[in-house]
Amino acid sequence: MTLLRQAYLLLRKDLLLEWRRRDSLLTMFFFGTLLLFVFHFAFDMPPDKVVELAPALLWLAFLFTGTLGLAQLFQAERDNHCLDALLLSPLDRGALFLAKSAFNLILMLLVESVVIPLFWILFNLGSWNLLPQLFLVTLLGTLGFCVLGTITAAITLRARARELLLPLVLFPLMIPVILATIRCMEMVLRTGSFGDAIAWLRLLIGFDVIFLTIGVLIFDWVIES
């Protein structure tokens, strides 16, 4: 219970800070939108090709915006050495992990809930009725990204050039999530239902559960490192 109460306190604090500064959210949102334009110029796709490429392009955009968010994730704690203040306190390190993961998840979901419909509008896609299924896949994938991303953001916290190091360490570990979400979304777009994609969904859920558990268990070592 203490774990959840402390996680809630931290999350509320982070959301309040974000509400006042709006640094991460605005940057992530504009960067995500910008990428859609870049993709359009880079690929110049005919409408039937867009459906095929949509999942990959969307996930590329989410990966990049998500990494921006992760690079900023511990910024509030870096200013004034506030991380030290948290480490001094009787805070369960697992709560810090949960709060930071949830915070980045909220930011990314906010961005995604704008970027996905925007993608549909900009690329003239018709299948609006499939958006709920796509959002479910995106939610599971984003959760996995945030969970593992929070751990990697924390271990690169005291490294030189940590913003550059973070994606280098994170992306290879994220391959299962990247593959699973893209294939899953592709299948939904092609066939209109999950069908064979259920196996991919299971893999995603497995990934989320495994790294969420590991994160809570080892974050003590992660953050003290």
Given the rule CB under 8 A, which residues bind other proteins? 2, 6, 9, 13, 16-17, 20-21, 76, 79-82, 84-92, 148, 151-152, 155-156, 158-162, 165, 168-169, 171-173, 175-176, 179-180, 183, 196, 199-200, 203, 206-207, 210-211, 214, 218, 221-222, 224-225
Residue 191: how many other CB atoms lie within 10 Å: 12
Spatial CA neighbour of 54 closest among 154, 110, 126, 4: 126
Shortest distance (Å) from residue 40 CB to other proteins: 26
Shortest distance (Å) from residue 101 CB to other proteins: 14
Structure tokens at 137: 């896949």
Structure tokens at 21: 């500064």
Shortest distance (Å) from residue 33 CB to other proteins: 26
The single-letter DSSP state of residue 189 is: H
**Between 120 and 219, whose beta carbon lies closer to other proteins?**
219
The single-letter DSSP state of residue 172 is: H
**Between 33 and 142, whose beta carbon lies closer to other proteins?**
142
**Between 100 and 183, whose beta carbon lies closer to other proteins?**
183
Whole-angstrom distance, CA of residue 205 vs CA of residue 225:
28
Whole-angstrom distance, CA of residue 46 vs CA of residue 217:
48
Shortest distance (Å) from residue 142 CB to other proteins: 17
CB 220 within 8 A of CB 213: no
Shortest distance (Å) from residue 202 CB to other proteins: 10
Residue 211: how many other CB atoms lie within 10 Å: 22
Whole-angstrom distance, CA of residue 139 vs CA of residue 157:
26
**Between 40 and 162, whose beta carbon lies closer to other proteins?**
162
CB 100 within 8 A of CB 14: yes
**Between 117 and 206, whose beta carbon lies closer to other proteins?**
206
Whole-angstrom distance, CA of residue 213 vs CA of residue 3:
13
Shortest distance (Å) from residue 177 CB to other proteins: 8
**Between 103 and 123, whose beta carbon lies closer to other proteins?**
103
